[in-house]
Amino acid sequence: MNLNDQELLQLVYKNAEMGRDGLDHLIERTEDRDFRRTLAEQFAEYQFVMDEARTRLDAFGQEPKGSSTMAKTAAQWMGDMKCNMDSSSTKLAEMVIEGSTKGVIKLTREMNNYKGVDEKTKALAERLLRTEQANIEQLRSFL
């Protein structure tokens, strides 16, 4: 695994962690069982991607570097503010779609920057990209 693989795996880990942590916070906020189930399924997929990235990084002596405490706190604070104004499934779905859209943009940009990565690294990044896109489609029904 080369430096590009390590950097892309770190980005995959960080993006999946942000998605997972955001969903974890929202799962507690919703009373809609169908919506909660959908978020829980998405949460599990983010966790799977994180675990795979961790395994690949561990194999090469690298520790996964998640988001900073400040970034996590800021994201949670913004989520709390939005939820306090409107915690309907529609609003929460909109928030997740916005986050997933940002994830698609960031991940696509990074994948274009890291050429020549190992096929397994590329496949994991593509899996996260497909996950983000599927999450957007899945949540459209809650708008």
What angle is formed at CA 47 by the lines to CA 69 and CA 128, rounded to 5 degrees?
A: 95
pLDDT digits (tens, 9 = 90+) for 62-101: 999 876 777 666 666 565 656 657 788 999 999 999 999 9
d(CA 97, CA 91) in angstroms, rounded, equals 10
d(CA 56, CA 124) in angstroms, rounded, equals 10
Rounded mean pLDDT of the chain?
90
Q: What is the pLDDT of residue 39?
A: 97
pLDDT digits (tens, 9 = 90+) for 21-62: 999 888 988 889 999 999 999 999 999 999 999 999 998 899
As a dihedral over the C-alpha atoms of residue 94, residue 97, residue 102, residue 103, rounded to 10 degrees, the angle is: 150
Q: What is the DSSP letter of 140?
A: G
